[in-house]
A and B are shown apart, each in its own frame.
Chain A
């Protein structure tokens, strides 16, 4: 079946503009995760959803970042007033259920490469 998809695959924007990144999880997956990966760095957790609820937003770097999810479907990560330090690959992952204790596996999308000029 189809895996996790993300759009756009690449986005170039000017500093100060808003951007929206989209993630389509695997059908039936209740949990959805957003990560950021700066050049040469590991993945940095941003936020996760269980259904359309976001119990943990602790990884969002600032109030310029927000995310929402419609039911157990599409999620959108919005970055307002982008800064050059926001340049990174934004990865989305989904899993059938939440991770802890259940032996669940996260399936990753291909990522959106964001460049802020």
Chain B
């Protein structure tokens, strides 16, 4: 079965500190992994996907197949990073995303 686990419901860090949002997945094949973000009063939007290997708004995420993880990282958090973050998995040949329960990130000034 496909499963995405985000162990932290809430994460609070100070501005300028590094931030890491954890995501672990369960899937036997080769998945595509995504991070979605929802800022206050805005709709859910794609932040980044592992196949693009890009940095968006200073965030990066590396797929670690050995540890079945796709943690989201940023070296220096900014107040505007405060939001709800969801990790999601797309199985091979699948058409539906499997989402984690989300982590609410709060950046303190």
Contacts and interface: CB of A to CB of B under 8 A. Distances in A.
Which residue among A48, A108, A109 has the maximum number of chain B CB atoms within 10 Å of its CB?
A108
Interface stretch (A12-20, A62-70, A99-107): A99-107
A82 to B, nearest CB: 24
A110 B42 CA distance: 7
Question: Interface of chain A, helix or strand or loop or mixed?
Answer: loop
Contact of A106 (B46, B52, B92, B102): B46
Contacts of B45: 107-108
Interface residues of B, number: 24
B95 A56 contact: yes
A111 B43 contact: yes
Nearest to B90: A99
Interface in B85-107: 86, 88, 90, 92-102
Nearest to B9: A40
